[in-house]
Each structure stands twice: as structure tokens, then as C-alpha cells.
Amino acid sequence: MRQRKEIQKMLLSGFRKKKKIERALRKADKKEDIISLINEEIKVYVFKIILDSIQVAPVKNVWRVIEIKGDRTLYSLHSIIQEAFDWDNDHMFSFFLNNKIWDQDTEYKGNPLGECEPSLFDDKAKPADEAEIRDLGIRRGKKFKYLFDYGDELIHTIETIKIYENNEKESRFPRIIESK
């Protein structure tokens, strides 16, 4: 059993290294820039997720604060929001980075399986499972929307309240740090 866990850990580590290298090659051309991106310190993002409304009915004072590493995807952010609010993760979802619901130009979407399926309506949405948080230009104070369940329309505002260097070697991320 112990050997199996060690092997899984090694494989996961190799997968993460491969993803790091692939990202660096996509983002840079020069050798020194590629090396810099591979060795880049991964920051932690602190988001306050506020539930705005359900089926267009306003909701007051329901929010969560979570911490998530910048190398995680929007799909990972979706997953921790699902856990934090105790939703069922059984519907499609979208993030709108310009803070406007239904704006296709800044939409990242996915489904409970983590996929971004093309729409019949010339959909411009990008896949949430491929968008790393650190690559989205998110700064402290930035707000954006999260929509879960296109029928019931659970609309959330996500506010970036802090971005910091992770000095804790054994920290578990993502994590929920506040809840109301």
C-alpha cells in the first residue's frame, strides 16, 4: 500500500513537471524566459466568493473565502466553490472575467466532468479546465462572475482580496478559510 502511494506521488510529480514545461514553451520563445517560467514561484490567490442571487432572487450575506494556488485551473476553482457552498456539481458553469454575466468574450466554461463542449451557437467560450489562474491577469481587487447551473442561475461575484507567495511547504490547497 505504501509503495503504491509513493508511485502515485512520483507519477503526479512527473505530470506536474510536464505541465510546467508545456506552459513555459507556450508562453515564451527564449531559453532564459522558458527557464524563468519553469522556476517561477507559484503564488496563492485569496478569493471571496459572494452568492449574489438564485433564479434572479437576491441573496444577502452568503459568502466564502478560499485560498487556491495560481497554477490551478478555473475548473479547480469551480470545484472548491462547489465544496464551499455544498452544491452538487451537477450542472454546467461559467466564469466571466469582465464581471458581466453572459459575455462570451471573457467566458470560460465547463461541465461536471471538466470538459468544455462546443455550442451550436458559435460559442466563443474557452475551456475552464485549461485556464490556469495565474495566466488570467487577475490582480488584487479584481472582480469577476461565476455562474453555476444555467437554469437556476446561481450567480456569484468573486473578488480577489489577496495574492501572496506561498512560504508553507506542506500546505494543502485549495482550502476554505472563512464562511458565512
pLDDT tens readout for residues 148-163: 999 999 999 999 999 9
* Threshold 0.85, pTM exceeds: no
What local confidence, expressed as pLDDT, does residue 33 receive? 56
**Range of lowest pLDDT (74-83, 100-109, 166-175):** 166-175
Q: Which of 44, 81, 54 is nearest to 165 (CA)?
A: 44
Residue of 156, 98, 163 lying closest to 134 (CA atoms): 163
Close Cβ partners of 72 (under 8 Å, ≥ 6 residues apart): 132, 133, 173, 174
Q: How far is 30 from 27, CA to CA, in rounded Å?
A: 10
In the structure grid, which three cell numbers stand for residue 114, read together? 471538466
* 160, burial (CB in 10 Å: exposed 0-12, middle 13-18, buried 19+): middle
Q: Could you read off the pLDDT of 17-71 as tens digits, one per residue?
A: 566 566 656 656 776 756 665 656 789 999 999 999 998 888 899 999 999 999 9
Between 31-38 and 2-27, two packed helices, what is the crossing angle to 10 degrees? 140
Q: What is the dihedral of CA 37, 80, 100, 153, to 10 degrees?
A: 150
Report which residue type is found at 51: L
Check whether 9 has a pLDDT greater than 60. Answer: no
* pLDDT tens figures, 100-144: 999 989 999 998 876 666 555 556 789 999 899 999 999 999 999
- Residue by residue, DSSP assigns 71-129 as TSBHHHHHHHHHHHHT----S-EEEETTS-TT-GGGEEEE-TTS--PPPSS---PEEGG
Among 177, 170, 176, 145, smallest CA distance to 53 is for 145
Give me the sign of the Cα torsion angle 136, 140, 141, 146. Answer: positive
